[in-house]
């Protein structure tokens, strides 16, 4: 359990540094944005798929 918490912390720190450096995490090409009048709908489909792939690869690496 301690190992999972440490890995989660490291991943969050790296993601925070990437966002702070200006990397557009969450605004990738392919994400759906619909603007009508005063409302905006944002659905980060490509970001979700990319995050899922990265987390799956990390899980596979740490299971071995």
Residue 11 within any structural domain of the chain: no
pLDDT for 47 equals 85
Residue 60 within any structural domain of the chain: yes
Domain containing residue 60: 24-64
pLDDT for 17 equals 84
State how many domains the chain has. Answer: 1
pLDDT for 36 equals 94
Residue 12 within any structural domain of the chain: no
pLDDT for 39 equals 95
Residue 7 within any structural domain of the chain: no
Q: Low-confidence residues of the chain, pLDDT below 50?
A: none
Cα dihedral sign for 33, 34, 35, 38?
Answer: negative
Residue 33 within any structural domain of the chain: yes
Residue 47 within any structural domain of the chain: yes
Please write the tens of the pLDDT for every residue from 48-57: 898 899 889 8
Residue 32 within any structural domain of the chain: yes
Residue 17 within any structural domain of the chain: no
């Amino acid at each position: 359990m301690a190992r999972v918490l440490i890995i989660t912390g490291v991943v969050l720190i790296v993601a925070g540094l990437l966002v702070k450096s200006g990397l557009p995490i969450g605004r990738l090409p392919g994400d759906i944005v619909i603007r009508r009048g005063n409302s905006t709908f944002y659905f980060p489909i490509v970001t979700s798929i990319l995050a899922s792939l990265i987390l799956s690869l990390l899980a596979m690496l740490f299971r071995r």
